[in-house]
Amino acid sequence: MTLKPATALAHPNIAFIKYWGNRDNDLRLPSNSSISMNLDGLFTRTTVTFSASFKTDSLRIGKKSIPGSGLGRVNDILDLVRELAGISEPAEVVSENNFPSSAGVASSAAAFAALALAASHAAGVTLTEHELSRLARRGSGSACRSIPGGFVEWHAGIEEADSFATSIAPPEHWDLVDCVAIVSAVRKKTGSTEGHAVAATSPLQAARVADAPRRLDLVRQAVLERDFDTLATVAELDSDMMHAIMMTSNPGLFYWQPASITIMESVRDWRASGIPVFYTVDAGPNIHVICPQQQAQSVERRVRELPGVNDVLVANSGGPAQIVS
């Protein structure tokens, strides 16, 4: 039997309070809750078809066919969906990003959010937003935050059933812009999954996790009140704390390059001179420079002029994952 194909679209997200380290690596139950903003304009579009005529699951990303052995996490999500739907048909997954997957914009977040939505739809199961967020989380933790729209909190939860993300505010609540400074498009040496697994080896991780509820309260409130100064101060602190964990774990992970530091220093100088702007950095050398829409053009221009910046991707706050066909 061939079930009706489904296509879903999801945006990546940028975290203001970061996810780094799991209590349970297999289930992706995080050590702390996190808060992010979806990125409009950037997206992954994924079509899933289940059919008895396929011999095995297959995956194509853009023009590239990924061999069976590379399906790993995609396979796990398809198995979870088949179990939920009570079907056994293999699936064909065809996916494309409209941004470079190695640009340091978390492509796995958009990818697994789109996959969870398209696969469950194609299998004929209707999931609530919470259930979809949990399913996406199993593929990539940060993907659970790309299911709801706008400004989103991933509640760490105690067990599998209560670790999912919900929206704090819709995209139109606050016209923040992310100017992503691309310093390097080279694929990172150590991916997030390996990084999470060693986070607890840093003697600083316990302190970071213990202080997370305080930072989460500040950032949640700052988002609700559109308090840019508080968001800027706490999000920068949170990003620096995560990188301190990365650098001091075993093995130590250094993601910054000289140009990354130049950008961070410049952003701090600009803010000191009165421009509302802050940085946050994921597991790579590229720097997310965040500001209100009003300053976006001039901030983008300033970032482009910095040495070592190859390109700047610009994104507003984006909506939820959606079925598009």
For binding to ligand DP6 (CB under 6 A), which residues are involved?
Answer: 15, 18-20, 28, 34, 106, 108, 140-142, 192-193, 196, 282-283
Question: Distance (Å, rounded) from C-alpha 236 to C-alpha 215?
Answer: 11
40 or 89: CB nearest ligand DP6: 40
Question: Would you call 185 helix, strand, or coil by DSSP?
Answer: coil
Q: Alpha carbon 78 to chain centroid distance?
A: 20
- Between CA 155 and CA 81 the distance in angstroms is 22
Nearer residue to ligand DP6 within complex by CB, 51 or 190? 190
Within 252-318, strands assigned E span 278-280, 287-292, 311-316
- CB of residue 112 to ligand DP6, shortest distance in Å: 8
The CB-of-156 to ligand DP6 minimum distance in angstroms stands at 12
When the beta carbons of 19 and 99 are compared against ligand DP6, the nearer one is 19
Nearer to ligand DP6, 73 or 173 (CB): 73
DSSP letter at 3 equals: P
Kindly tell me which of 20 and 270 has the beta carbon lying closer to ligand DP6: 20
**Closer CB to ligand DP6, 7 or 142, in the complex:** 142
Token pair for residue 172? 């139109």
CB closer to ligand DP6 out of 50 and 154: 154
Distances (CA, A) of 20 to 6, 57, 116, 300: 32, 31, 22, 28
Q: At closest approach, how far in Å is the CB of 172 from ligand DP6?
A: 23
Give the integer Cα–Cα distance in Å for 175 and 296: 10
Q: How far is the CB of 100 from ligand DP6 (least distance, A)?
A: 16
Quote the least distance from Cβ 282 to ligand DP6, whole Å: 4
**How far is the C-alpha of 79 from the C-alpha of 94, rounded, in Å?**
17
Tokens 């992970």 belong to which residue?
A: 253
Minimum distance, C-beta of residue 298 to ligand DP6, in the bound complex (Å): 27
Residue number with CB closer to ligand DP6 (141 or 171)? 141
Q: String of b and e for 290-318 (b: at least 16 CB within 10 Å)? A: bbbeebbeebbebbeebebbeebbbbbbb
Among 16, 18, 13, which Cα is nearest to 38's? 13
Sheet with 151-155: strands ordered across: 13-17, 34-38, 151-155, 164-169
User: Residue 283 CB, nearest distance to ligand DP6 (Å)?
Assistant: 4
CB of 15 to ligand DP6, least distance (A): 3
Counting Cβ atoms within 10 Å, is residue 84 exposed (0-12), middle (13-18) or buried (19+)? Answer: middle
